[in-house]
Amino acid sequence: MGKMRVAVFASGSGTNLQAIIDADIQTIEIAVVFTNNPDAYAIERAKKHNIQVEIIDHKNYKTREEYEKHIIKVLGPYKLNLIVLAGFMRILSTVFVRAYKNKIVNIHPALLPSFPGINAGRRALEYGVKYTGVTVHFVDEGVDTGPIILQSVVEIKDEDTEDTLLEKIHEVEHRIYPKAIELISSGEIEVIGRRVIKKS
């Protein structure tokens, strides 16, 4: 099997993108970094590593569908096998999800199905749970609802603030996202219903 051609989608700082670059996963090639945000620091990170960048600002499009159709067109020539969402702050509609069916993964800063959606770290802290964590999952047509690939637990201590918690969550993210991408790109896992399991 050749290397999987991967696009990393990021809207902000891109520390997960950096972790994926640094992991130097032998079974993938990062073909392109995509962003909706012309000011995303992720762009500098990509350029520094000579990775192609595509910037398409959602603000220039009337509807989500129109925006996504354009992204699909631009990404076509990259012949992608996998889309990795790493802090991409736009919800993808069925238009995009269907175009890359079962080929999109996301990282979420909580133990799904708890605390889906935005500000998951802060909401876990405010709720008072003692353990939260990180989830890597395939993207389906819902928000943070797809089959779970990997999860890892983060303990919430009495002295934690939103900042210290997010720091711990990030550390775990940077460890498990490359691991999940390696599992997928090496063909070691399969999806059966909602369950993602090691091939026997």
- Catalytic residue numbers read 108
Residue by residue, DSSP assigns 64-123 as HHHHHHHHHHHHGGG--SEEEESS--S---HHHHHHTTT-EEEEESS-TTSS-SS-HHHH
Per CB under 6 A, which region of 7-15, 48-56, 57-65, 72-80 contacts ligand GRF? 7-15
What is the C-alpha to C-alpha distance for residues 30 and 182, in angstroms, rounded to an integer? 13
Sequence-distant (6+) residues with CB within 8 A of 84 are 6, 7, 8, 9, 20, 105, 177, 181
Q: Judged by CB under 6 A, which of 30, 125, 173, 176 binds ligand GRF? A: 173
Q: Does 168 bind ligand GRF (CB under 6 A)?
A: no
When CB distances to ligand GRF are compared, the closest residue is 87
143: phi then psi, degrees, rounded to nearest 5:
-100, 110
Q: Does 116 bind ligand GRF (CB under 6 A)?
A: no
Residues 56-95 that bind ligand GRF (CB under 6 A): 86-87
Q: Judged by CB under 6 A, which of 4, 8, 10, 92 binds ligand GRF? A: 10
Binding mask of the shown chain, residues 20 to 59, with x at each position contacting ligand GRF by CB under 6 A: ----------------------------------------
Lookup: tokens for 178: 């490359």
Q: Judged by CB under 6 A, which of 7, 9, 14, 196 binds ligand GRF? A: 14
Buried-state track 19-31, b at ≥16 Cβ within 10 A, e below 16: bbbebebebbebb
Q: Where do we find the tokens 């799904």?
A: 112
Tell me whether residue 16 or residue 132 sits nearer to ligand GRF (CB atom): 16
For ligand GRF, how many residues bind (rule: CB under 6 A)? Answer: 13
Q: Judged by CB under 6 A, which of 12, 70, 100, 140 binds ligand GRF? A: 12
Residues in contact with ligand GRF by CB under 6 A are 10, 12-16, 86-87, 107-109, 170, 173
